[in-house]
Amino acid sequence: MREAILLVGGQGTRLRPLTINTPKPMLPVAGVPFTVHQILRAREAGVTRLVLATSYKADVFASFLADSALVGPDSGIEVVIATEEVPLGTGGAIRFASAMLESGPDEPVLVFNGDVLTGLDIDGLVNYHQDSQSDVTLYLTRVDDPRAYGLVPTNEAGEVLQFLEKPQTPEEIVTDQINAGCYVFTRNVIDSIPADRAVSVERETFPQLLEANRRVSGVVDPGYWLDLGTPLAFVQGSVDLVRGFAPSPAVTTPSHYLALLGAEISRSAELSNGTTIGAQAQVGAGAVIDGCVVFDGAVIGDRCRIRNSIIGAGAVIENDCTVEGSVVGDGARVGAHNELRDGVRVWANAVIPELAIRFSADQ
């Protein structure tokens, strides 16, 4: 048996307003909730039992799993749910969820952040962990600008030297290797995390393990990596899945766009660059939709031009609008001839009158 914990209890504040009703890992990416991509990737890597560590909007996960054949009893992976009454942070969540694990004290347990899309060789990471007899092994990736991340320098033997969370000064930027949000823990290390309070693995558990001279390893994987935490990254991840640039067993045929069941798309509309059109959504005549995620039941009017944007469930974009690099919340209505650009966020159920906005403005 190989077991994993998937951390999905965060509030997803950077993706508001989309995460007001739906937790980030349950937002649809290339047609299915992101969590499904992750569960199927874990199954592909031989995980047979997975604990979903939930907190924020836990009921959304429970009702989805109850109805889903994708991760049902015959799917080859057993998925169980642990729900914290109050959020316990990443470390506290791992400790809490571990009560549902069956692995013995010396066995490896995988832990995945619930918002990271990767091409990681999961099996390779577990093998490295076991061969090196590590207490914890972290998946690392290299980025051009590491300032927004946790830096993890390693030595030539792959041993982690330090943890530096979100470094700001040039002296602190000692490496381009960052914590990529997937770990292998030896089970008894999880058991040593305090059970009765919030704990951050990044800020507390990992640095403490180094101080105690435990073996903490880092493996740099050169494959695909994206943190879907921001709107632009979320759109990018969905596009990359649809186009086949990012791997997922849930996407079998890469294509230029994906239209889900019951979507009504005018013959003169142009869909491109990995756009997904949700179930029962409508796209009007002459509309151009480039690299977007349009959620279920949304309506895009005639001649609209929508680029690199997320249109929430049931939102309505009336005729002749331009939407670029922006987010329209569930159920919002954007009147005709508006132009939303450069990070505009329209709140869920907001109503924007015709011709009200040109260029960027916060709603």
Applying CB under 6 A, the residues found at the interface with ligand GTP are 7-14, 24, 53-55, 84, 87-90, 93, 113-115, 229
DSSP-derived letter for residue 255 is -
State the nearest-atom distance from the C-beta of 243 to ligand GTP, in Å: 24
Q: Helices H, strands E: what count in the chain?
A: 7, 30
State the nearest-atom distance from the C-beta of 269 to ligand GTP, in Å: 32
State the nearest-atom distance from the C-beta of 59 to ligand GTP, in Å: 14
Classified as helix, coil or strand, 83 is: strand
State the nearest-atom distance from the C-beta of 335 to ligand GTP, in Å: 30
State the nearest-atom distance from the C-beta of 117 to ligand GTP, in Å: 12
> What are the beta bridge partners of residue 78?
49
State the nearest-atom distance from the C-beta of 24 to ligand GTP, in Å: 5
Is 84 or 221 the residue whose CB approaches ligand GTP more closely?
84
Contact 141, 225 (CB under 8 A): yes
Ordered DSSP codes for 155-219: -TTSBB---EES--SGGG---SEEEEEEEEEEHHHHHTS-SSS---IIIIIHHHHHHTT--EEEE
State the nearest-atom distance from the C-beta of 89 to ligand GTP, in Å: 5
Distance CA 331, CA 350 (A): 8
Distance CA 221, CA 146 (A): 16
Is 88 or 357 the residue whose CB approaches ligand GTP more closely?
88
Q: Which secondary-structure segment (H or E) carries 61? A: helix 58-67
Is 9 or 108 the residue whose CB approaches ligand GTP more closely?
9
Residue with the CB atom nearest ligand GTP in the bound state: 10
Ordered DSSP codes for 260-313: -TT-EE-TT-EEETTEEE-TT-EE-TT-EEES-EE-TT-EE-TT-EEES-EE-T
For 9, phi and psi rounded to 5 degrees? -95, 5
Burial class of 181 by CB neighbour count within 10 A (0 to 12, 13 to 18, 19+): buried
| CA end-to-end span of the chain | 50
State the nearest-atom distance from the C-beta of 278 to ligand GTP, in Å: 22
Is 231 or 335 the residue whose CB approaches ligand GTP more closely?
231
Is 50 or 271 the residue whose CB approaches ligand GTP more closely?
50
CB-based contacts of 355: which residues, under 8 Å, 6+ apart? 335, 336, 337, 338
Burial class of 44 by CB neighbour count within 10 A (0 to 12, 13 to 18, 19+): middle
Is 236 or 275 the residue whose CB approaches ligand GTP more closely?
236
Is 195 or 355 the residue whose CB approaches ligand GTP more closely?
195
State the nearest-atom distance from the C-beta of 139 to ligand GTP, in Å: 14
Is 177 or 179 the residue whose CB approaches ligand GTP more closely?
179
> What are the beta bridge partners of residue 76?
none
Is 40 or 53 the residue whose CB approaches ligand GTP more closely?
53
Taking each helix axis as running N to C, give the angle between helix 122-131 and helix 34-44, from 0 to 180 degrees, rounded to the nearest 10. 50
